[in-house]
């Protein structure tokens, strides 16, 4: 069977950028940057982008293109003992998409709420109490009922996403990315221009860019910068390997990696500017300091922005534009997370795309209902923190250690990349990826392990964090090891090693 392929080079780049630009850029980056020292955060962030982000994207692109398989198959083709890493990344993508879709469901609801500013004046009470009906505390035995106002938009998100995946790479993902990404950029520019031209915007921008140098030696800031780079560039979870496995053999992957990484970070900075300018406007209007507005992650977008929107002329337009941006950015990322799982299941079990979409997508849809309950918010917070901290980062370390060190792929992969690219991977790539990245990641992981053992995450009950934090991590590992032992349905995919064009 011929492997599906992207129709054009730009189709691939836009899909990869579509995966990278997501909730991480608009919702997560601004508050993470602010929480971690504003301008001081930008230095570790740029360091992480230049030493890890760029090289890691280049690595994953060339792995996918050379080995031409889903993450488990590509790793299997490097060495059969590496297959489990692919399933681990499958599990990470699967778990992330179960809650990522829920935040998109909220965004869809908020597009509707924008029409009338249904959130009223107390936007916080509206989000937590009137809309989500969040229970007073987290408990493993009580999740409350299902919240229909979340479940229905969530179902719509899944129907759209599965529909796109069902149509395949060229007719589904590529077409949607080609339309969605330019639309997103234009709409988002409308938001940013409006935000920076509001009175008081400079208050927010100062808060965002003003460096706090004393914070630079704080390991937490470095951890935040590295996690943000992995999250934002969709790395170490099989996405970029899967997408590049649909490239023609003669593609220049290094150049594409640079374009994708820089586009993503530019968009991210733009989002920071837009959101903080808007916060500045609100601080100016209400006399509250920016730092008191910027608290909280989820709250920033669903609580503070509606409050800002309330104070604007033509609030309907501004609200709709903003939440539409969030939705478009998120859907193109959700598709990429799903593609990791679809392509892996397809190859392992010999299913066709349609069956794989129905089974894997159906399962993810059902699991995502858990977050549409009244206790779902707590679950989302814990799972998100653990999967990113203790799923993605270790997966990155293991991927580097096995691919580059144990199975000695540095040279062949560099040769493969350099054969088709004018940007040559050389010593910089070797040192940044083979040395700086793993050293930084191990230090970060160790310090975050210590702090998570010393204090229970987020002040939740211990059993809640044990089950949905550590328990989920353990389950993902067990899953990966077990599935890697299941034989491949069609053994011929394995023998090809590197598939021909």
Based on the shown chain and the rule CB under 6 A, indicate whether residue 22 belongs to the binding site for ligand PFF.
Answer: yes
SS3 label, residue 211: strand
Based on the shown chain and the rule CB under 6 A, indicate whether residue 32 belongs to the binding site for ligand PFF.
Answer: no
CA separation for the pair 460, 337 (Å, rounded): 28
Under a CB-based contact definition with an 8 Å cutoff, are residues 433 and 400 in contact? Answer: yes
Please state the closest distance from residue 235 (CB atom) to ligand PFF, in A.
8
Q: Which stretch binds ligand PFF (CB under 6 A): 15-23, 78-86, 352-360, 459-467?
A: 15-23
Residues contacting 148, CB < 8 A, separation 6+:
none
Among 101, 161, 244, 333, binds ligand PFF (CB under 6 A): 333
Please state the closest distance from residue 474 (CB atom) to ligand PFF, in A.
19
Structure tokens at 474: 């353990």
Cβ neighbours around 53 below 10 Å, total:
29
Structure tokens at 139: 């408990």
Please state the closest distance from residue 16 (CB atom) to ligand PFF, in A.
10
Among 17, 20, 42, 247, binds ligand PFF (CB under 6 A): 20
Closer to ligand PFF by Cβ: residue 234 or 265: 234
Helices 83-114/471-485 angle, 10° precision:
130
Q: Which stretch binds ligand PFF (CB under 6 A): 21-29, 57-65, 304-312, 345-353?
A: 21-29
Positions in 387-416 near ligand PFF (CB under 6 A): 388, 392
Among 16, 17, 40, 96, binds ligand PFF (CB under 6 A): 96
Based on the shown chain and the rule CB under 6 A, indicate whether residue 161 belongs to the binding site for ligand PFF.
Answer: no
Among 14, 23, 48, 342, binds ligand PFF (CB under 6 A): 23
DSSP structure string for 38-62: BHHHHHHHHHHIIIIIHHHHHHHHH
CA separation for the pair 34, 38 (Å, rounded): 4
Q: Which stretch binds ligand PFF (CB under 6 A): 104-112, 228-236, 404-412, 480-488?
A: 228-236
Measured in degrees and rounded to the nearest 5, phi and psi for residue 20 equal -65, -50
Based on the shown chain and the rule CB under 6 A, indicate whether residue 231 belongs to the binding site for ligand PFF.
Answer: yes
Based on the shown chain and the rule CB under 6 A, indicate whether residue 232 belongs to the binding site for ligand PFF.
Answer: yes
Residues contacting 262, CB < 8 A, separation 6+:
none
Q: Burial of 262 by CB count in 10 Å (0-12 exposed, 13-18 middle, 19+ buried)?
A: middle
Closer to ligand PFF by Cβ: residue 32 or 273: 32
Q: Which stretch binds ligand PFF (CB under 6 A): 23-31, 37-45, 53-61, 287-295?
A: 23-31
CA separation for the pair 232, 96 (Å, rounded): 13
The footprint of ligand PFF (CB under 6 A) covers: 19-20, 22-25, 96, 231-232, 234, 237, 333, 388, 392
């Amino acid at each position: 069977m011929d492997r599906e392929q992207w129709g054009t080079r730009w189709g691939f780049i836009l899909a990869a950028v579509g995966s990278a630009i997501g909730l991480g850029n608009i919702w997560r980056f601004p508050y993470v940057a602010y929480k971690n020292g504003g301008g001081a955060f930008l230095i570790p962030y740029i360091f992480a982008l230049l030493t890890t982000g760029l090289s890691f994207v280049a690595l994953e692109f060339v792995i996918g293109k050379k080995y031409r398989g889903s993450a488990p198959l590509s790793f299997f083709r490097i060495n059969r003992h590496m297959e489990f890493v692919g399933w681990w990344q499958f599990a990470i993508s699967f778990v992330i998409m179960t809650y990522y879709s829920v935040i998109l469901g909220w965004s869809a609801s908020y597009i509707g709420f924008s029409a009338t500013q249904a959130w009223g004046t107390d936007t916080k009470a509206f989000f937590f109490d009137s809309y989500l009906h969040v229970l007073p505390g987290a408990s493993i035995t009580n999740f409350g009922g299902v919240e229909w106002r979340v479940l229905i938009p969530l179902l719509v998100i899944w129907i759209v996403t599965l529909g796109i995946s069902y149509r395949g790479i060229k007719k589904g993902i590529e077409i949607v990315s080609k339309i969605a990404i330019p639309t997103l950029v234009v709409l988002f520019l409308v938001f940013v221009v409006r935000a920076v031209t509001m009175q008081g915007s400079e208050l927010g921008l100062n808060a965002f860019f003003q460096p706090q140098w004393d914070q630079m030696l704080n390991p937490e800031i470095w951890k935040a910068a590295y996690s943000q780079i992995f999250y934002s560039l969709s790395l170490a979870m099989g996405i970029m390997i899967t997408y590049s496995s649909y490239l023609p053999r003669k593609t220049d992957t290094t150049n594409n990696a640079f374009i994708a990484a820089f586009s993503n970070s530019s968009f991210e900075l733009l989002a920071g500017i837009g959101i903080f300018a808007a916060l500045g406007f609100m601080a100016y209007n209400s006399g509250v300091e920016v730092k008191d507005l910027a608290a909280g992650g989820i709250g920033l977008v669903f609580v503070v922005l509606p409050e800002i929107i309330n104070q604007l002329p033509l609030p309907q337009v501004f609200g709709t534009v903003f939440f539409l941006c969030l939705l478009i950015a998120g859907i193109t990322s959700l598709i990429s997370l799903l593609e990791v799982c679809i392509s892996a299941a397809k190859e392992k079990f010999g299913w066709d795309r349609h069956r794989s979409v129905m089974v894997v997508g159906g399962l993810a849809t059902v699991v995502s209902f858990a977050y549409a309950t009244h206790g779902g918010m707590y679950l989302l917070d814990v799972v998100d923190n653990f999967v990113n901290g203790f799923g993605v980062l270790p997966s990155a370390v293991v991927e580097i250690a096995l691919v580059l060190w144990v199975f000695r792929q540095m040279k062949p992969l560099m040769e493969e990349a350099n054969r088709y690219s004018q940007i040559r991977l050389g010593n910089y790539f070797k040192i940044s990826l083979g040395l700086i990245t793993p050293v930084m990641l191990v230090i970060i992981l160790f310090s975050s392990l210590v702090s998570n053992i010393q204090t229970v995450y987020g002040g939740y009950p211990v059993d809640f964090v044990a089950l949905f934090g550590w328990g989920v991590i353990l389950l993902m590992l067990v899953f990966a090891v077990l599935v890697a032992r299941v034989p491949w349905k069609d053994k011929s995919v394995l023998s090809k090693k590197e598939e021909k064009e």
